[in-house]
Chains A and B, each alone.
Chain A
Amino acid sequence: MIGVELRKLFRRPRTWITIALLNALPVLVAVLLKVTDLAPRPGEGPAFLSAVLTNGTLYPLAALAIVLPLFLPIAVAVVAGDAVAGEAQGGTLRYLLARPAGRTRLLVAKLVAVIAFVLVTVVIVAAVGYVVGTALFEVQSLGATTGISGTSLTPEQVAGRTLLSIGYITVSMLGVAAFALFFSTLTDSPQLATLGALAVLIGSSLLFTLDAASDIAPYLPTRYWLSFVDFFREPILWRNITRGLGLQAVYVVVLLGAAWANFTTKDVTS
């Protein structure tokens, strides 16, 4: 069943179009930086962007930081919102369940496919970022590279921590994915499920900037998204990273529980 869902997802043209569009922005930014030579000052603009002119191997991180606030979660919300509601709208849900695929199995397979999509997307953004970054910008082959806040990291350390960041960003997207998947079991309209998840996302980002909401800020799903920059301190600053992982885990468990409870007991009339 998981294989079936992966085949469906990755044989669908839309999946690859989404991934391609997602890569367009970081590539455009790289080209603009190269042409104008105008990098943002340290501490301004997306993370890592100030450092890429002197070290192209940091561009995967800059690319991830560029897509992280909006493009990536939108893509995740589209794919996860489509998971069940898309099958309902297309009429294939009733045939899958009459096959019988099993409601729990189907939901698990959908979840695995969504996670696979997030991972593949994040890896591709990083890989494209690496290719673009090393092609356009200087690469320091030997000696120390500069991380953020003046921390010195070797190229090996940068590579290792980039991999950690890829993992962390993937996990960070699971909260959005869980919201979208839950909404996807509530409605027969994939657009509605996606919009619901985006509403949560935008609401969360907005509340995060509001002093009046500071009490609930630690529980907002987007709260610790940018904490992957803490991998680039020396030593690694684990506090917010572990909080971010824990928070995502709570959202995923609660929302998937709700999705499961709803989906396994509902009438499929689509």
Chain B
Amino acid sequence: MNGTVIATAGLRKAYGAVRAVDGIDLDVRAGDVYGFLGANGSGKTTTVRMLLGLVLPTSGTVEVLGRPIPKAGREVLPRVGALIEGPAAYPHLSASANLSLMDAAGPGGARRGRRQRIAEVLDQVGLGGVGKRQVRGFSLGMRQRLGLAGALLRRPDLLILDEPTNGLDPQGIHEIRTLLLDLNRTGTTVFLSSHLLAEIEQLATRVGVLDRGRMVLQDDLATLTAPTGATVVRTPDPARAVRELGDRVLSADGERLVVRGSEPAEVNAVLVGAGVPVSGLALDRPTLEDVVLAAAAGSGDRVPVGTTVSGAAA
């Protein structure tokens, strides 16, 4: 698989006066783990629904796997696995009966081999032992795993996962992360939305940041967190270090100094030469949090007094 997997152009969705998604140009490429980051209410789920043809855009276009959505949905969506705003299942049926119904409900779910495929995905998400149990008795975490099993059932080329780790415990989150990275390694493109910065930072190779319906940032994680050209020095004697380095010190925060110069070894040589003890040394890189805070202005569901609803979404 090559090239672009998801491309939107000027994608907009307005619910009355609320601009839920306000002109975004997604660019997800084959092999990406694309992290779609945004505060609650910033428009992630609305975007996901438009990618899957559930919500029709007010304006703009969507292409998934090279074909237009919703027009070519019948052709494209069998190759896409999705988790949309939490899992859903028929509570009075077992986990495998639920998967079986979903499989039979669309194209490309041949009856032959279905049982086998269901057993495989249930194992994959760690529900192998409870496939015959009614979903009614499942915990939120188990339901989330079942939803993921449904998304994986047809070995999709693209996974679109809206907040996939909601309701999972740390152990579960770790398992899912490992599973997604494994799938990605074997060629699955993963589009992952989350309001959790750490989650995106740990998983994504490419990041898009949504702020109140607008994309404020879209780039490779490596580029976003590339070295700034400065060096971070830790020293128990910051005062002397500052004296030695003079105006090369860009900022000082306790024992942590940021020093101009992209060669930590060179900075180290200067300090050690002057007899200043050095306890830590690293290239200065912005964290994803720094980048996001610089790009986005505030929390999506904060509506200050005096702002209208449409104003808040603008």
Binding site for B on A (CB under 8 A): 1, 3-4, 7-8, 11-13, 90-92, 94-102, 265, 267-269
Q: Say what secondary structure dominates the interface of chain B.
A: loop
Contact A267 B54 (CB under 8 A): yes
Determine whether the beta carbon of B88 is less than 8 Å from that of A91: yes
Determine whether B142 belongs to the interface, using a CB cutoff of 8 Å to chain A: no
Q: Is the CB–CB distance between B53 and A98 below 8 Å?
A: yes
Residues of chain B contacted by A11 (CB below 8 angstroms)? 92-93, 97
Q: How far is the CA of A86 from the CA of B80 in the complex (A)?
A: 25
Could you list 17 further interchain pairs (A-B, Cβ under 8 angstroms) beyond the known A91-B86, A100-B78?
A1-B105, A4-B104, A7-B101, A11-B93, A90-B91, A91-B85, A92-B90, A94-B54, A95-B82, A95-B84, A95-B88, A97-B53, A98-B52, A99-B102, A100-B53, A267-B55, A268-B49
Task: Please name all residues of chain A whose beta carbon is closer than 8 Å to the beta carbon of B174 when the two chains form the complex.
Answer: none
Of residues 68 to 94 in B, which have CB atoms within 8 Å of A's CB atoms? 73-74, 77-78, 80, 82, 84-93
Count: A-B pairs, CB below 8 Å: 75
Chain A residue numbers with a CB within 8 Å of B242 are: none
Residues of B within 8 A of A4 (CB): 101, 104-105
Alpha-carbon distance between A95 and B77 when the two chains are bound, in angstroms = 11
The distance from the CB of A2 to the nearest CB of chain B, in whole angstroms, is: 10
Contacts of A90 on B, CB cut-off 8 Å?
88, 90-91
B311 within 8 Å of A (CB atoms): no
- Across the interface, which residues of B come within 8 angstroms of A12, CB to CB? 92
A268 and chain B: residue at smallest CB distance: B54
Q: Does B208 contact A (CB under 8 A)?
A: no
- Contact (Cβ within 8 A) A94 B106: no
Shortest Cβ distance from residue B19 to the other chain A in the assembled complex, whole angstroms: 15
Flag whether B56 is at the interface (Cβ < 8 A).
yes
CB distance from A267 to the nearest CB of B (A): 4
Instruction: Say yes or no: is B23 at the interface (Cβ < 8 Å to chain A).
Output: no
A92 to B105, CA, bound (A): 12
Nearest CB of B to A194, in Å: 19
